[in-house]
Amino acid sequence: MIKLARLFLYEGGKNMKEAFFNRSIEEQKDYLVGLHASDLVELYESLETVEKEALFQLLTDEQKADLLAYLEPLDAANVIEELNLQETKDIFYHMEPDDITDILNELEENQQEELLELLDDETKEDIEQLIDYLDDQAGSIMTPDLISVTAEMDVKDAMKKLVLLAPEVESINQLFVVDKHDTFLGVLPLKKLIKAKSPMKVEALYETSLFVYDTDDLEEVTDLIQEEGIYEMPVLNDQNVLLGMITFDDAIDAYEEEIIEDFQKLTMLSEDSQTKPLMSAITRLPWLALLMVLSLPIARLSLSFEATISAYTIIIILQPLILSMVGNAGTQTLTVSLIMLSDKEEKHVIKNNIIEEFLSGLTTGLVLSVIAFVVTNLFIAFNPSLSEDPIIFGLIVSLSVFLSLAFGTFASSIIPVLVNKIGLDPASASGPLITTVIDIATIGIYYGIASFVIGGLLG
């Protein structure tokens, strides 16, 4: 960020883009030398399409590789599609197999095959292995590029191997120790290796370590990595053979993607937020059509109270007041429930959350019902065209708010749990779907109370 700050100040407060492109080509190249990839991405993403192309041409192949590794895979794939095969080959040479795999997964199968032919046999084999993993498996984000040593190796030879391979791997914080059959034994921290003196075997220094299997659930693995603060998690197959590692950075990226995916499911949006307008519309239409159909019971329920509605139009006027309050409260509760399920909380914690949310709904409902009573009275009082009794209709609204909030918070906390219990994704089955259920219940409560009170007191 220091270079960005210097550039910004150098131009007397101009934005980053203007400050960069106001320099000569040589000055731009000089500025880009040694610029951290995250800063390069920040500059790149602030540009228009034509400017991005101009900046990309100024970069070295290694810088291009760093940039593509930091970009979202879809954005990186779009860049690759604009390059010729030789340019792509030169860039891929500087990229890690897992980063290349992320890009290839965004391309058509025929494009994948074409680009795989550009790679050396070892890298190609690594990538073909990674592509075979499902998106929710730990192996999908591991990198096979690491330094492994055998337990029988002398520390002097281990150090030589480290020096030789260090430029080719993502991290050298630790070496991975295996036996002669590549069965994982543990890890050798770099600090220990540096302090060790030959003659001494690796088996005298290595430490046992947590590990995961390549087919383990990715969400559980990222949670474990964060909880334990592991920067390089060993990944094994079912024979305990070392396949690769998952870095902390890659785990965080996967965790963020999972959160985004859950929010997209919550709102029933496509997982691809950058889809073209037509494809985006096609993706959303089935869900919106389903929600429209689910709204029909509300219309049918309203029809059952036609006599009450026709006689007192104020009931329709005040309806949004109740629906908005209950809907917002339900969404808040739903978010808390989904977070707990995502964090794999214990059963008793989730059970306590349901009780607490219900009690919270009762408390909130009590307070808001009083406020709703006052608001309804003021609304009728300040609208001369309304002749209805403010006390009676204030009671109708306040009682409806209280009961609807109690039901809404309870439903929003327990439905995701029930959906999760039967093996479905609670995020996918929630959101607008639960809102529709709550709306139906709220309308039923509101119109039911209105009909009962009006029939008893005004009938």
- The per-residue DSSP string of 232-256 comes to EEEEE-TT-BEEEEEEHHHHHHHHH
pLDDT of residue 438: 86
Residue 376 to residue 318: CA distance in whole angstroms: 8
Residue 13: pLDDT band (50, 70, 90) is: very low
Q: Is residue 321 part of a domain?
A: yes
Say whether both 211 and 330 belong to one domain: no
Give the pair of three-digit tokens for residue 310. Answer: 């026709």
* Alpha-helical segments (H) within 22-95: 25-32, 37-45, 49-58, 61-70, 73-81, 85-92
pLDDT of residue 32: 79
Q: Is residue 168 part of a domain?
A: yes
Q: Is residue 272 part of a domain?
A: no
pLDDT of residue 275: 53
Residue 340 to residue 298: CA distance in whole angstroms: 31
Give the pair of three-digit tokens for residue 326. Answer: 């209950």
Say whether both 281 and 400 belong to one domain: yes
Residue 270: pLDDT band (50, 70, 90) is: low
Residue 91 to residue 82: CA distance in whole angstroms: 13
pLDDT of residue 360: 86
Residue 351 to residue 365: CA distance in whole angstroms: 21
What is the pTM assigned to this prediction? 0.56
pLDDT of residue 209: 92
Residue 261 to residue 428: CA distance in whole angstroms: 10
pLDDT of residue 152: 93
Q: Is residue 142 part of a domain?
A: no
pLDDT of residue 10: 42
Q: What mean pLDDT value characterizes the chain? A: 82
pLDDT of residue 256: 78
pLDDT of residue 425: 67
Q: Of 218, 235, 263, which one is at a domain's C-terminal end?
A: 263
Residue 157 has pLDDT above 90, yes or no: yes
pLDDT of residue 9: 38
By three-state DSSP, how is residue 150 classified?
strand
Span of 18-32, 71-85, 149-163, 372-386 with lowest mean pLDDT: 18-32
Q: Of 133, 156, 184, which one is at a domain's C-terminal end?
A: 133
What are the strands, taking DSSP E only, across 82-241? 148-150, 174-178, 184-189, 212-213, 232-236
Say whether both 85 and 46 belong to one domain: yes
Give the pair of three-digit tokens for residue 318. Answer: 């005040």
CA angle, residues 390, 395, 398, in degrees to nearest 5: 115
pLDDT digits (tens, 9 = 90+) for 327-366: 888 878 877 777 777 666 567 777 887 888 888 889 988 9
Residue 256 to residue 18: CA distance in whole angstroms: 31
pLDDT digits (tens, 9 = 90+) for 277-332: 666 666 667 767 777 777 777 777 777 777 777 777 788 888 888 888 888 888 78
By three-state DSSP, how is residue 174 classified?
strand
Say whether both 125 and 222 belong to one domain: no
Q: Of 222, 240, 263, which one is at a domain's C-terminal end?
A: 263
Span of 240-249, 261-270, 405-414 with lowest mean pLDDT: 261-270
Residue 132: pLDDT band (50, 70, 90) is: confident
Say whether both 412 and 450 belong to one domain: yes
Domain extent, residue 181, equals 148-263
Give the total number of structural domains in the chain.
3
Query: SS3 breakdown of the chain: % helix, strand, coil, rounded to 5?
Result: 65, 10, 25
Task: Label the pairing between strands 174-178 and 184-189.
Answer: antiparallel
Residue 398 to residue 405: CA distance in whole angstroms: 11
Q: Is residue 270 part of a domain?
A: no
Give the pair of three-digit tokens for residue 100. Answer: 């290349």
| Nearest to 141, CA basis, from 229, 221, 36 | 221
Q: Is residue 424 part of a domain?
A: yes
The CATH number assigned to the domain holding 309 equals 1.10.357.20
User: Which residue has better confidence, 176 or 340?
Assistant: 176
Contacts of residue 81, defined as CB under 8 A and 6 or more positions apart, other chains included, come to 107, 111
Compute, in degrees rounded to 10, the torsion defined by CA atoms 187, 192, 198, 203. -30
Residue 185 to residue 201: CA distance in whole angstroms: 14
Say whether both 95 and 208 belong to one domain: no
pLDDT digits (tens, 9 = 90+) for 194-205: 998 888 999 999
Say whether both 258 and 282 belong to one domain: no
Residue 51 to residue 47: CA distance in whole angstroms: 6
Q: Is residue 269 part of a domain?
A: no
Residue percentage of the chain with pLDDT more than 90 = 25
Give the pair of three-digit tokens for residue 114. Answer: 């074409």
pLDDT of residue 268: 55
Residue 186: pLDDT band (50, 70, 90) is: very high
Residue 276: pLDDT band (50, 70, 90) is: low
pLDDT of residue 144: 87
Residue 408 to residue 336: CA distance in whole angstroms: 14
Can you say whether the dihedral through the CA atoms of 322, 325, 327, 330 is positive or negative?
negative
AA identity, residue 81 = E
> Could you tell me if residue 302 is left (phi over 0), alpha (psi between -120 and 50 degrees) or otherwise beta?
alpha
pLDDT of residue 284: 63
Say whether both 316 and 454 belong to one domain: yes
The helix (H) or strand (E) run that includes residue 131 is helix 121-131
The CATH number assigned to the domain holding 84 equals 1.25.60.10
Q: Is residue 140 part of a domain?
A: no
Say whether both 301 and 446 belong to one domain: yes
User: Which residue has better confidence, 314 or 65?
Assistant: 65
User: Which residue has better confidence, 135 or 214?
Assistant: 214
pLDDT of residue 344: 62
The CATH number assigned to the domain holding 206 equals 3.10.580.10
Residue 395 has pLDDT above 80, yes or no: yes
Say whether both 242 and 365 belong to one domain: no
| Nearest to 331, CA basis, from 192, 430, 203 | 430
Residue 301 to residue 296: CA distance in whole angstroms: 8
AA identity, residue 102 = D
Residue 136: pLDDT band (50, 70, 90) is: confident
Average pLDDT over every residue of 35-52: 82
Say whether both 314 and 201 belong to one domain: no
pLDDT of residue 18: 67
Say whether both 323 and 440 belong to one domain: yes
pLDDT of residue 239: 92
Span of 48-52, 92-96, 102-106, 255-259 with lowest mean pLDDT: 255-259
CA angle, residues 157, 160, 165, in degrees to nearest 5: 125
